[in-house]
A and B are shown apart, each in its own frame.
Chain A
């Protein structure tokens, strides 16, 4: 592509966690077209319709172009100058900190923003405010993955790279729908199956890739642990345990092996609904392959015992020795473009960069020395705890950057109650959204096409982001905004550019020691990166990053999910994503993608639809224990009987009104994937939509 007069910028896609490298062509200050970079290591010259086409949002007339201030609680927003907005934030946060202490303030960094933005945000909260109340939206997606990988293997990241799919003889794909959620990886997996890779898909829905695999298992939602224990049972029974690997490199095998006795295929079949023969075949496909991968997504993590299921995935790989070499990898498909990086950067209430605890004295000291301020040793609040604390009055102010919690977090009524209970709310975003309705100050920020920095993809690959166009109007980059707020709060962030911030990250973080913007080049580097620039496409080739270098088998039994179908709520709702839209839809709803898919629908099996007298396209009522919504039905046999599926891309659907407070026991990641619901045609029962406090 040679567009006359266009400037071409090579950057990294800001949609999902695949991390496609893109060539953005800009003409007259707008994006004219985007093409894939042929040398992008994650995308190999390919992209999906989001990365390639869904860029018109960047100049949409609804973009925030000036700071907005609300003078009175129920007042209207009015445009304001930057100085006034920053002064207002500094004054309010200063007042609240003086009256109630720093822990009365909390901040959210954004998994859509760069590593440097997130690092700046956590430094602002820790050094300028003085609290560890900092979190990011990985809390509600892959925090269970991070928790489990750290406990089982050592490091919070994929053990290999997408290239391992090309080398694997088999892959188990569980709780992920990559051809919609991670389309370029989905295409890569599909091509691998066409070349002969044996794919086993495990999902309550018959996802597209199931048609390309050798076997599809459709367990009842919330029974993944039993499926994995059943597969492990068969692997053990039929002699697929790699004794030499288990003895030399792991701890805890005996306790896990003992547990497996109770998970014979017939028992597991009772729990999961998966035929025993299919469990046996899945284990054999994985066990018989010389090299095999396991990949998973939010269908694994967004459960009450999501983190335990990830530990069981690790067990399956460890017992067969299928980790730490080409073609044998554990590959969590991270959701957002920088959900890996935002957590790596320490935008978490319990850790500094690279998951080092805030209670670790030596680590805390190193940051105190670098930043010149005393730092709190008390672990801060996780996102759901922030909302609880706001309602009880302990939390007075929040600074939310790049996350629409009122649309995407579970139990919407509770979230809105929390936001309304705050004394002061700052939202920094590119559009007004459901959350900005409750903001006192809104700061106009920049999209990924307008900023520089780095994103870290699902392969731990840190890649450069470069601005193709300028922010619209008076909007500024998040990096500039956070610097200005920190300065107004009396703490200078001493960096001219994001590259300077990366130098500080590298200096304070051994695993990032060798990373600098200059060294990342066109292909990026996969952390950990040694001071000489050597990166790590494959982890654990020789030892695990746990004491003694040994991985750990967690002996975790199956436990029932937090919600279950009963007489009143007979169907199980699973929520997820569609190809054409991205998460809250903030960006994709403002592009031509709405012409392709313009609304959320409820997928329901033809048998259930007939039984409930529901026809295709009819608007229906969906009620859970906590809320009720209305949306059109889509009758399809992609979903199993007894289950229904929908998305939350459109705010008017308010899908998350239905999701309750059940969450992962270790990380508080919400159980978006198992919600018992009652589905019926409209008019059969009086509407019972709980009114939001604002009447919004």
Chain B
């Protein structure tokens, strides 16, 4: 066991526990975006950065193991400024604000990210890809967090989804982009369940959950 303090609250954690595990055990909220407890920690988005006493710069809570005596400040100003900027950059690429029920919208609201300050290029709105009876792609909402790809690999074990493109064109595809139905997909829906933006969602929800804009 190691003892760490999260915002002054002492918690005992098992060997191998991360700062995020400790924060959740202490009941302290840490923003996350690419994290899903069903998958191995990925550490890609940098939204979960926290301040650690003695560390030269903020550390990602989801991949940093706890060390005995570690003192963590989840509201470290540098960490929060980075998290805010990351979420703001993500929003700045979307053609519309994310729907309120999505994890992205909830993290943005909690971090008080409003209208993005950078009015650059946004993904072009497109019709949803509804070739599958249940699963729909809305590629313009993809933020390349990789959660769907990892759900397909680590939760289901079907390896039907892949990251595609690079830079602004980064996205996801089923198989060689032949759609869910004609790929190896087994329709389990783990991708839609984990997607924080509705880039993969259910066909039957398309009508119900139009984004607020």
CB pair B208–A53 under 8 Å, yes or no, is no
**Given the complex, which residues of A lie within 8 Å of B73, measured CB to CB?**
none
Min CB distance B196 to A, Å, is: 11
CB pair A49–B202 under 8 Å, yes or no, is no
B interface, by DSSP: helix, strand, loop or mixed? loop
Give the complex CA separation of A4 and B210 in angstroms. 11
Give the complex CA separation of A593 and B189 in angstroms. 13
Q: Which of A3, A187, A580 contacts B187 (CB 8 A)?
A: A580
The residues in B between 170 and 203 inclusive whose CB is less than 8 angstroms from any CB of A are: 181, 186-190, 193, 202
Q: Which of A45, A579, A593 contacts B37 (CB 8 A)?
A: A45
The residues in A between 370 and 398 inclusive whose CB is less than 8 angstroms from any CB of B are: none
CB pair A183–B189 under 8 Å, yes or no, is no
Chain A 395-426 interface 0/1 with B at a Cβ cutoff of 8 Å (1 = within): 00000000000000000000000000000000
CB pair B157–A3 under 8 Å, yes or no, is no
Does A47 count as interface, using CB distance less than 8 angstroms? yes
**Given the complex, which residues of B lie within 8 Å of A507, measured CB to CB?**
none
Does B16 count as interface, using CB distance less than 8 angstroms? no
**Given the complex, which residues of A lie within 8 Å of B209, measured CB to CB?**
3
**Given the complex, which residues of B lie within 8 Å of A179, measured CB to CB?**
186
From B201, which residue of chain A is reached at the shortest CB distance?
A33
Q: Which of B181, B188, B202 contacts A596 (CB 8 A)?
A: B181
Min CB distance A32 to B, Å, is: 6
The residues in A between 26 and 43 inclusive whose CB is less than 8 angstroms from any CB of B are: 27, 32-33, 35-36, 38
CB pair A4–B101 under 8 Å, yes or no, is yes
Q: Which of A32, A38, A194 contacts B208 (CB 8 A)?
A: A32
CB pair B204–A49 under 8 Å, yes or no, is no
**Given the complex, which residues of B lie within 8 Å of A194, measured CB to CB?**
157
CB pair A183–B188 under 8 Å, yes or no, is yes
The residues in A between 204 and 249 inclusive whose CB is less than 8 angstroms from any CB of B are: none
Does B42 count as interface, using CB distance less than 8 angstroms? no
The residues in B between 155 and 175 inclusive whose CB is less than 8 angstroms from any CB of A are: 155-157
CB pair A49–B154 under 8 Å, yes or no, is no
**Given the complex, which residues of B lie within 8 Å of A27, measured CB to CB?**
208
CB pair B38–A33 under 8 Å, yes or no, is no
Q: Which of A53, A580, A595 contacts B189 (CB 8 A)?
A: A53
CB pair B155–A53 under 8 Å, yes or no, is no
CB pair B133–A596 under 8 Å, yes or no, is yes
**Given the complex, which residues of B lie within 8 Å of A187, measured CB to CB?**
155-157, 188
**Given the complex, which residues of A lie within 8 Å of B193, measured CB to CB?**
1, 35-36, 45, 52
**Given the complex, which residues of A lie within 8 Å of B154, measured CB to CB?**
191
Chain A 296-319 interface 0/1 with B at a Cβ cutoff of 8 Å (1 = within): 000000000000000000000000
Does B100 count as interface, using CB distance less than 8 angstroms? yes
CB pair A3–B208 under 8 Å, yes or no, is yes
CB pair B204–A52 under 8 Å, yes or no, is no
Q: Which of B100, B188, B205 contacts A49 (CB 8 A)?
A: B188
Does A46 count as interface, using CB distance less than 8 angstroms? yes
CB pair B101–A3 under 8 Å, yes or no, is yes
**Given the complex, which residues of A lie within 8 Å of B204, measured CB to CB?**
32-33
Given contacts A2-B101, A191-B154, A596-B133, contact A48 B202 (CB under 8 A): no
CB pair B157–A44 under 8 Å, yes or no, is no
**Given the complex, which residues of B lie within 8 Å of A476, measured CB to CB?**
none
From A180, which residue of chain B is reached at the shortest CB distance?
B186
CB pair B157–A579 under 8 Å, yes or no, is no
CB pair A53–B187 under 8 Å, yes or no, is yes
Give the complex CA separation of A47 and B37 in angstroms. 15
- Interface size of B in residues (CB-CB distance below 8 Å): 23
Does A557 count as interface, using CB distance less than 8 angstroms? no
**Given the complex, which residues of A lie within 8 Å of B157, measured CB to CB?**
187, 190-191, 194
Does A549 count as interface, using CB distance less than 8 angstroms? no
From A54, which residue of chain B is reached at the shortest CB distance?
B134
Does A467 count as interface, using CB distance less than 8 angstroms? no
CB pair B155–A45 under 8 Å, yes or no, is yes
Does A94 count as interface, using CB distance less than 8 angstroms? no
The residues in B between 18 and 66 inclusive whose CB is less than 8 angstroms from any CB of A are: 37-38
Give the complex CA separation of A45 and B147 in angstroms. 14
**Given the complex, which residues of A lie within 8 Å of B134, measured CB to CB?**
49, 53, 592
Give the complex CA separation of A36 and B38 in angstroms. 12
From A30, which residue of chain B is reached at the shortest CB distance?
B204
Give the complex CA separation of A91 and B134 in angstroms. 47
CB pair A45–B38 under 8 Å, yes or no, is yes
**Given the complex, which residues of A lie within 8 Å of B133, measured CB to CB?**
53, 592-593, 595-596
CB pair A52–B155 under 8 Å, yes or no, is no
CB pair B100–A4 under 8 Å, yes or no, is yes
Give the complex CA separation of A595 and B205 in angstroms. 18
CB pair A579–B186 under 8 Å, yes or no, is yes
CB pair A46–B186 under 8 Å, yes or no, is no
Give the complex CA separation of A595 and B100 in angstroms. 31
- The residue in A3, A27, A53, A187 that gathers the most chain B C-beta atoms within 10 A of its C-beta is A53
The residues in B between 134 and 156 inclusive whose CB is less than 8 angstroms from any CB of A are: 134, 154-156
From B189, which residue of chain A is reached at the shortest CB distance?
A52
Give the complex CA separation of A38 and B155 in angstroms. 12
Given contacts A3-B209, A32-B208, contact A49 B38 (CB under 8 A): no
The residues in A between 1 and 20 inclusive whose CB is less than 8 angstroms from any CB of B are: 1-4
Min CB distance B125 to A, Å, is: 22
Give the complex CA separation of A27 and B106 in angstroms. 22
Give the complex CA separation of A36 and B156 in angstroms. 13
From B180, which residue of chain A is reached at the shortest CB distance?
A596
Min CB distance A638 to B, Å, is: 15
Min CB distance B181 to A, Å, is: 7
**Given the complex, which residues of B lie within 8 Å of A2, measured CB to CB?**
100-101, 106
The residues in A between 139 and 193 inclusive whose CB is less than 8 angstroms from any CB of B are: 179, 183, 187, 190-191
Min CB distance B69 to A, Å, is: 31
CB pair A53–B38 under 8 Å, yes or no, is no
**Given the complex, which residues of B lie within 8 Å of A592, measured CB to CB?**
133-134
**Given the complex, which residues of A lie within 8 Å of B202, measured CB to CB?**
33, 53
Q: Which of B106, B156, B181, B208 contacts A46 (CB 8 A)?
A: B156
Chain A 550-583 interface 0/1 with B at a Cβ cutoff of 8 Å (1 = within): 0000000000000000000000000000011000
Give the complex CA separation of A33 and B198 in angstroms. 14
Min CB distance B134 to A, Å, is: 4
- The residue in B187, B202, B205 that gathers the most chain A C-beta atoms within 10 A of its C-beta is B187
Which 4 residue pairs of A and B lie closest in terms of their CB atoms, listed nearest first?
A: A592-B133, A49-B187, A190-B157, A2-B101
- Seen from chain A, the residues whose Cβ lies within 8 Å of a Cβ on chain B are 1-4, 27, 32-33, 35-36, 38, 44-49, 52-53, 179, 183, 187, 190-191, 194, 579-580, 592-593, 595-596
Q: List 12 A-B contacts (CB under 8 A).
A: A2-B100, A3-B205, A3-B208, A36-B193, A45-B37, A46-B156, A47-B189, A48-B188, A53-B202, A187-B188, A194-B157, A592-B133
